[in-house]
Amino acid sequence: MEPAVQRLEPQRSRLHAPDPGRRVETRPRYSLAVDEFALKVLAWYRRHGRHDLPWQVPDPYVRWLAEVMLQQTTVTAVIPYFQRFLAAFPSVRALAQASQDEVLAQWAGLGYYARARHLHAAARVITEHYGDGFPRTADAWAALPGVGPSTAAAIVAFAFGVPAPILDANVRRVLSRYHAVSGRDARALRTLWTHARDHTPTHEVAAYTQAIMDLGALVCRKAPDCAACPVAAGCAFEGEDAPTVRRARPERAVFMAVIRDPARGVLLVRRPSHGIWGGLWSLPESVELDDLPAVVAALGVDGRMGMACAPVHHTFTHFRLTITPILVEGVSQAFGVAEHHDVMWYKGDGSGPGMPAPIRRLLNQFLEVP
């Protein structure tokens, strides 16, 4: 049997989100060994949860990589990238020794490229400060770039069995419904972190962590399947979430130069490391069409602006982008193109460098019919 008192000391996390000083609960904190909620969720998980995900191994590097890829990204989208990435960089040391270009090339298409840059930077910190080991606490993980409170907790729970509450999107949806916590403000978030910590058991932490995430992903979805839910009996959800307000996305537009050389392919430029598509390879661009000739000339290309092609639309979280490709005509061998580390020719063969998904699609169209 479980001990009657599970935690004599609060699992005081120094992650900033949970705040023991601002508790909203009135019931005793440590009255149950494992609360009923956790027991039911665990029982459900054994029969209905996901047990065969490719990162479900007790390896800190694997768990860290998976958790970072799973930030803002669904399981099905992550799986192929995870497998390719792990094959390319099988260890934290291999990752640390790779160039940023190699890392971004493997990440390209998955989005939120700051995750890849942070992962790479953190790999170098880990090999330098931990040798062949890894951080062992959630706080130490959260100190690394790209690892926040929830990711840090998931890593130590999965890799080391350390009891640490998580509050990712799935858990937040489950707990906000179960405990009727509406809103996304700091106060609501603090309340949810408190609930998350109160439900987190000290035993079977890895299983519970996966269980509560699976419950959110498989049952407590936006349109929940309450009939299949193991904790429906105690749940405060009444069939409707609080409405979310979303503001309209502003429109942005750019023109991009498609500079083709029969022998060398299409000219790409490396984007600045911050901002949209940071560090990826893209086409030379300008906001005003009138400015594009100067951008092209600055690269040492002597062509003239030719036909405008069909615009490509791409929607980001906070704005909508229209890309109008402009063919550059009469490129005479492009002898003057400066050969340096921010400019390259791309032939369109195979994988290529790290490019934003819409740029890759756009170029595939151009390179299909030379």
Q: Give the Cα-Cα-Cα angle 130, 133, 136 (nearest 5 degrees).
A: 90
Three-state DSSP class for residue 370: coil
Q: With CA atoms as reference, report the closest residue to 257 among 222, 294, 220, 232.
A: 294
CB of 241 to DNA, least distance (A): 9
CB of 174 to DNA, least distance (A): 10
CB of 143 to DNA, least distance (A): 9
Nearer to DNA, 47 or 222 (CB): 222
CB of 333 to DNA, least distance (A): 31
Dist. CA 326–CA 253, nearest whole Å: 13
285 has catalytic annotation: no
Nearer to DNA, 37 or 281 (CB): 281
Q: Identify each DSSP E strand in the chain by its residue range.
A: 251-261, 265-270, 281-282, 285-286, 304-308, 312-315, 320-329, 343-346
CB of 225 to DNA, least distance (A): 13
CB of 259 to DNA, least distance (A): 21
Dist. CA 359–CA 109, nearest whole Å: 10
Applying CB under 7 A, the residues found at the interface with DNA are 70-74, 76-77, 108-114, 118, 142, 144-152, 168-170, 173, 216-217, 221-222, 246-247, 274-278, 313-318, 320, 356-358
Q: Which of 67, 240, 329, 368 is catalytic?
A: 67
Nearer to DNA, 108 or 268 (CB): 108
Q: How many CA atoms lie within 13 A of 44 on its CB side?
A: 24
Nearer to DNA, 71 or 324 (CB): 71
Three-state DSSP class for residue 218: helix
Q: Could you tell me which residues come within 8 angstroms of residue 193 by beta carbon, excluding any fewer than 6 positions away?
A: 17, 18, 19, 165, 167
Q: With CA atoms as reference, report the closest residue to 210 among 50, 37, 11, 63.
A: 50
Nearer to DNA, 71 or 91 (CB): 71
The CA R_g of the chain, rounded to the nearest whole Å, is 25
Nearer to DNA, 27 or 222 (CB): 222
Q: In whole angstroms, what separates CA 177 from the centre of its chain?
A: 24
Q: Which residues are catalytic?
A: 67
